[in-house]
Structure 1
């Protein structure tokens, strides 16, 4: 049976939030501390374990160190939310020997490589947030910062607007994530059921042929034919001027998605290297392919 994920209890000023690095090691401290300050300015206590700054190669510690840190934060009843420091790579490695601990649901916030954890958490019935990590939060415009803070406080969200490709209106369970990470979750135990899903995807620095290859995998696996609608965010630096002849990104997306006969909306304001509007993962949503809107149904 398809599980619609539930949001954790709303946060209140004074709540304790903890920082986790489930993926890559921290490379730039200044934007990280600026992101911490954004949460502190909202009245939250932010707990930072600077031991995670040391890292292990390109990872923020060994797999076991990162698993232990995440499990500890999930089981600590004094912590009401987990703020991911950055993406990078490494979250899928944690899932190899991972079981979500029996603990009250709490907020898990991040995007990019954090997709792996967000989708796995949603499969357990808990809605995390696809939204800015600490190293990107301070660069967000005020309206997307406020959208994130409103979401974790249990307030309603305005719809996001993009370019409608037609297909009518559909309601389903919203799965938001990075295309590359999500593709590597297919056919694993950590991929949530895809029936009745509105699939919201973004990516960065992937050439058109690689986007083509991933979407072809979604088609060949049958996964793309299970979903009810597609919401496309920003695909930044995904054009390739070095290869001739070539396809433009929009041509690849149209070719691989345009024949599905379902509502599709592109150019929505979420993803890398630009506005990244927060979206809960696993909750009910409505996609209007004619008007070009994505509405979370909280």
Structure 2
């Protein structure tokens, strides 16, 4: 029987424009069954999934060699009538591509993903290209398998992609933790904390414009590792350019008797930078899409980004 999710008119993650979507694996290797399920679900939704040639490849824990992943990356953006380039998963490996991307021959097609994809999203932002911090494509399979409130949350997260792709205004609920509580405005940046910290000092370092609102999330890390990454990231940035830090989910992160909020607050306090948390993005069922680089307003009433 066809899944109810497939029937849902709300689940049009890429909108109603051109139907071709390129699927790439620029980082970790992807399970074959996840690939097959993702392509099948996209087809049932009326899309034309174009799985790139090396998406099933494996080199150690990576989705192929650097050369294979680069070939797929460049080819995906040059497909005819492609709506978006959607990463199948994160993992590790995107930073290996940074010094080899041929930006001059890369059409302006939006890139979708999160986690390890954060490095690429920031690079796109730095070059004025469209990038969405959004669920990866294989999470369609997780959505199909989910039930109850988890299913509803995953469906809402997938459905949020379309409005961001269309350039619409958006909103996320927030909770103020510490620091100045006056409204601030600036471009949205960030992504996975561990990934961004590891790229500090390299060609994939986080792009930080003035007034930036730094969005962070992570998964499966002990608190001391999160602190190590946060200190590394902060030390690599011009802190005067940050207007606020917003924390999404930190799934399966062992924080012991402390919390990620307390740790981050301690390091931000000397710099008088506002801290907010409980934003609905990151690893897990609540992963609302947001536009990297889009101007936004942050206040106790929420995070609101302007239309394009």
Work out whether the TM-score is over 0.5.
yes
- The Cα offsets for residues 74-102 of structure 1, whole Å up to 9 and x where unpaired, read as 22333231110111100000113223233
The runs of 5 or more residues in structure 1 that have no matched partner are 1-9
The within-5 A match list for 1:26-45 is 26-27=30-31, 29-30=33-34, 32-45=35-48
Match of 2:11 in 1: none
Aligned to 1:4: none
Give the Cα separation in 2 of the matches to 1:284 and 1:39: 31
Preserved contact between residue 218 and residue 224 of structure 1 (Cα < 8 Å): no
Secondary structure at 1:238's aligned position in 2? coil
1:164 aligned onto 2:184: no
Partner of 1:85: 88
SS in 2 for 1:141: helix
TM-aligned CA deviation for residue 224 of structure 1: 3.4
Q: Residues 56 and 86 (structure 1 numbering): CA distance in 2 closer, same or farther, change over 3 Å?
A: same
Shift of the alpha carbon at 1:284? Answer: 0.9
The one of 1, 26, 33 aligned to 1:22: 26
Distance change (3 Å), C-alpha of 1:219 and 1:130 = closer
SS at 1:173 equivalent: strand
In the alignment, the residues of structure 1 paired with residue 37 and residue 250 of structure 2 have an alpha-carbon distance, to the nearest angstrom, of: 25
Question: 1:151-173: CA deviations, max 9, x gaps?
Answer: 2234333x111211352111111
TM-score normalised to structure 2 length: 0.83
CA distance in 2, matches of 1:189, 1:26: 26
Structure 1 CA distance for aligned equivalents of residues 162 and 127 of structure 2 = 24
Change in Cα spacing, 1:196 to 1:240, as seen in structure 2 (3 Å) is closer
Mapped contact 1:231–1:294 kept (Cα < 8 A): no
Aligned pairs (5 A) from 1:1-298: 12-27=16-31, 29-30=33-34, 32-49=35-52, 51-138=54-141, 139=143, 140-157=153-170, 159-165=171-177, 166-191=180-205, 192-241=207-256, 247-288=258-299, 290-291=300-301, 293-298=302-307
Q: Is the 8 A contact 2:261 2:277 kept in 1?
A: no
Once the two structures are superposed, what CA deviation does each residue of 1:22-69 show, in whole Å capped at 9, x if it has no partner? 001113624x44444554454321112464213111010100110111
Number of residue-to-residue matches in the alignment: 281
Gaps of 5+ in 2: 1-13, 144-152
Greater Cα shift, 54-63 or 140-149: 140-149
CA–CA distance in structure 1, aligned partners of residues 65 and 131 of structure 2: 24
Deviations 1:91-130 (A, max 9, x none): 0001132232334311210000001111111111012111
3-state SS, counterpart of residue 60 of structure 1:
coil
> Is contact 1:14–1:45 with CA below 8 Å preserved after alignment?
no
Partner Cα separation in structure 2 for residue 81 and residue 221 of structure 1: 31
What secondary structure, in the 3-state scheme, does the structure 2 residue paired with 1:147 have?
Answer: helix
- Report the structure, 1 or 2, having the larger helix content: 2
Measured against aligned partners, the alpha-carbon deviations of 1:185-211 in whole angstroms (never above 9, x if no partner) come to 222233324422111010111111111
What is the TM-score when the length of structure 1 is the normalising length? 0.85
Counterpart of 1:5?
Answer: none
The higher-RCO structure (CA 8 Å, 6+ apart) is 1
Deviation at 1:143, TM superposition (A): 1.9
Deviations 1:135-156 (A, max 9, x none): 2234253222221122223433
How many Å apart are 1:259 and its aligned residue? Answer: 3.9
